[in-house]
Structure 1
Amino acid sequence: MSLLVPVGADALVVADLLGGVMMPSGPVHEGQTPEQAAHQILRGAPGGLPALRRVALAWVQTRRRKIITYVLATASIPRETVGRLNYRDPRAVIRVLPTVRVIDDLHEHGRLRILVGLQALATGETAYIEGGLIRSSAPPGLIQE
């Protein structure tokens, strides 16, 4: 699962891991909801992460299994709160970067998730991405919880 954490109208929270910028992300363990997993990825916000909402669901079928990535967005947080956040991987540093720079720095799949997630956040919808292609809905039988 990946987190889309806006800071104001033009910046995002990212994890800088050994010089590589990425969306804060982590696993969803069996028996855990994506929302519960989100609280394990970023900790330290007063009162927890604000207003989590699922904005995108991406999946790809590999040779042996289907990989599902939930993209959850928070309400915009103030810059002061970012300084309190702790990422699940202690090697990473949490940073606030302009949205345009984040989009430029991410790999193709991360870039698509950010762009589609931002659009879905603005429209109030949930977006679906299958193998890099945007779909109007999730296929029947895809686990969404």
Structure 2
Amino acid sequence: MPTAPTTVPAQRRHAPYENWRPPVVGVSLLVPVGADCITVVDLRGMLMLPVGGLHDGQTPEEAGYRVLADPSGGLRLLRRVAVDWVQTRRRKVITHVMAAAPMTREAVTGLVYRDPRATVRVIPTLQFLDQWPTGRARLLVSLQALATGATACFEDGVVRTQVPSDLAA
């Protein structure tokens, strides 16, 4: 008696959707206050570094000045200390971390965040690291890069020594 041919179900392959949508590019500001504090924004109980978007034709420095407005003109962005990029399922997310010159607590009180619901605060760096576990590595490496004069690069969570040429701009 003949047997029916057995069919093996085709295995589904999950192909990555690499860069089929334009990347999301943003800027994050690292504003030290003294030797042991940093500037953060408090958005309804959620503490984070000040962040904003980078629009076409804009440099990370120009975008950084849009994130925190300073009527007194005391905010001076020094340089980019880190680039963090992650390939998500549908697009690449790139964050440039810009470091500012150290400010005083009094000068930080005059800063205005781009989102009016948030307040700008100064907290000890170690306290912020305890409350922000998802960004701990980025902040620590950014602080180290600021201290050493280097530029760090995160590629999918791994620290690299060289910034890829397509992210260097």
Residue 38 (structure 2) pairs with residue 12 (structure 1): yes
Please tell me whether the aligned partners of residues 151 and 163 of structure 2 are also in contact (alpha carbons under 8 angstroms): no
Equivalent pair of 1:15/1:92 in contact (CA under 8 Å): yes
Q: Which is higher, the Rg of structure 1 or of structure 2?
A: 2
Aligned to 2:143: 118
Query: Secondary structure of the residue that 1:142 maps to in structure 2?
Result: helix
Q: Distance in 2 between matches of 1:51 and 1:43?
A: 12
Map 1:48-127 → 2, pairs under 5 A? 48-108=74-134, 110-127=135-152
Q: Count matched residues.
A: 143
Aligned to 1:142: 166
Q: How far did 1:65 drift?
A: 1.7
Unaligned runs of 5+ in 1: none
Measured in 2, the distance between the counterparts of 1:45 and 1:144 equals: 30
SS at match of 2:51: coil
Identify if the C-alpha distance between structure 1 residues 10 and 33 changes in structure 2 by more than 3 Å, giving closer, same or farther. same
- Aligned alpha-carbon RMSD (Å): 1.2
Alpha-carbon distance between aligned partners in 2 of 1:45 and 1:21, rounded to the nearest angstrom: 23
Residue 25 of structure 1 aligns to which amino acid in structure 2? V
Deviant stretches of 4+, over 4 Å: none
SS at match of 2:65: helix
Unaligned runs of 5+ in 2: 1-26
Aligned partners of 1:15, 1:107: CA distance in 2, in Å?
A: 16
Quote the offset at 1:46 in angstroms: 2.3
AA aligned to 1:138 is V
TM-score, normalised via structure 1 length: 0.93
Equivalent position amino acid for 2:39 in 1: V
Identity %: 55
More relative contact order, 1 or 2 (CA 8 Å, 6+ apart): 1
Q: Deviations over 1:39-81 (max 9, x none)?
A: 1000125225214210000101112221110000001001110
CA contact (8 A) 2:29 2:50 kept: yes
Counterpart position of 1:24: 50
1:13-41, Cα deviation, whole Å (9 max, x unpaired): 00000001000001001111110000100
2:68 maps to which of 11, 31, 42:
42
Q: Aligned to 1:80, what secondary structure does the other structure show?
A: helix
Q: Which amino acid aligns with 2:36?
A: D
